[in-house]
Amino acid sequence: MSEKHKVIYDRESDQYYQRRRVGNQTIELGMNCTDWIEENKESWWNIFLTIYNKRKDAFTNMDKKVITGQNPFATFATARDMFYDVEAEVLKRELEYGHSNKVVIFCTWVDNRRRDAYYRVLNKHGYDWGKCSGGKCIMKTFTRDNLAKEIIEEDSK
């Protein structure tokens, strides 16, 4: 991760995010802490992805207009790299620095088309179907033990 693509932590909203430009669009991908369970030292993080045009406000068009972009492959590759960066920062803070014993990262969706696309990507990284807040989601649970195993496996590759 270069300094130009640094993951930003917003303390006020307790979220990590990253913004990058692809063509005339801006991609913002991040994770925000939605729940903290003190007795278990467990935190739940929601993945969010926003793509918006250069001169348009993201929140104005969020539910009104689907923006896919002129270059979907570059957008996908960039968002995938951003996901790895943000996920690593969240896990470093929560597990390596001793803040949490268990971290759950989950993804919800607006429509079934997005659900299927998210599942195809996240399933390759160990995410699977689960339940959160009474609804279906795609999620993965990290603990100190399985994080240590993943780091060892990555180093051996």
Give per-residue pLDDT as tens, 86-140.
999 998 888 777 778 889 999 988 888 888 888 988 999 899 999 987 889 999 9
Domains of the chain: 3-156 (3.40.630)
Are the C-beta atoms of 127 and 138 separated by less than 8 Å?
A: yes
What are the C-alpha distances in Å from 106 to residues 22, 27, 34, 66, 67?
25, 19, 10, 22, 23
CB-based contacts of 46: which residues, under 8 Å, 6+ apart?
Answer: 31, 32, 34, 106, 107, 108
Q: Which amino acid is at 105?
A: I
pLDDT digits (tens, 9 = 90+) for 14-56: 899 999 988 888 889 999 998 888 887 888 999 998 887 755 5
What are the C-alpha distances in Å from 132 to residues 107, 114, 141?
10, 18, 12
Rg (CA), the chain: 16
**CA 83 from chain center: how many Å?**
5
What is the reported pTM? Answer: 0.79
